Structure 1
Amino acid sequence: MHMKKLATLFVFVALAATPALAQGAGGIDAGASELQTYIDPVGNLILIIGAIVGLIGGVRVYIKWNAGDQDTQKAVMGWMGSCVFLMVVGVVVKAFFGI
């Protein structure tokens, strides 16, 4: 009984995998072109998130500066570092996929 279930499962898996293998290079090209359609919006989204983080960081640093905190420079460096990182990631993602 157990072998019969295992053999049936093997047949179903083999039949399901056959169309995927038959696509070959056409399937790979279709997948690559579909992936490229997602890269541009994702890169733009990362750039937008970086801009929002920069604005929020600027407001927080301004509040710290007006309050007279001593670690204002550390806050500026942290926020600017995160903004630069997000901007670079957005550009690198687009460049990596050739868009």
Structure 2
Amino acid sequence: MKKWRKNPGPRYALALTVFGMAASIKAFAQDGAAGIQEADSQVRSYFEPGTNLMYAIGAVLGLVGAVKVFQKWNAGDQDTGKVAAAWFGSCIFLVVVATVLQSFFGL
């Protein structure tokens, strides 16, 4: 604690850091509305490709699931119906989530 009293350098450094942070926060806050609008437009521009990506992932999962279920069915496994329901459910979930998000955000 004695070093803090003798050497004013750390106090000045702390004061400059606080002042710099306050100035940068004020600079960012001045153009907040424009920044929010820009962020909104960027999110909206990525939304349709993201929705299409979810549909594509659902299609690939459907194909992989169909192959897995077919293999289990040919092997005579007893849990073929359970596996088919799980794969089908995951594909339906992806499609429903993409559709609900698209209708929720009104895009």
If the length of structure 2 is used for normalisation, what is the TM-score? 0.84
Mapped to 1, the partners of 2:106 and 2:11 lie a distance apart of 50
Give structure 2 stretches of 5+ with no counterpart: 1-8
Does residue 54 of structure 2 align to residue 12 of structure 1? no
Question: How far is 1:24 from its partner?
Answer: 3.1
Is the CA contact 1:39–1:97 (under 8 Å) kept in the aligned structure 2?
Answer: no
RMSD (Å) for aligned C-alpha atoms: 1.3
Q: Is the 8 A contact 1:46 1:90 kept in 2?
A: yes
Following TM superposition, the consecutive aligned residue runs of length 4 or more in structure 1 with deviations greater than 6 angstroms are none
Q: Secondary structure at the match of 1:69?
A: coil
Q: Which structure is higher in RCO with an 8 Å CA cutoff and minimum separation 6?
A: 1
CA distance in 1, matches of 2:80, 2:65: 11
Secondary structure of 1:17 counterpart: helix
- Give the counterpart letter for 1:22 in structure 2: Q
Structure 1, unmatched stretches of 5+, are: none
For 2:57 and 2:89, the matched residues in 1 are separated by 14
Correspondence for 2:105: 97
How much identity, in percent, do the aligned residues show?
42
TM-score (norm 1): 0.90
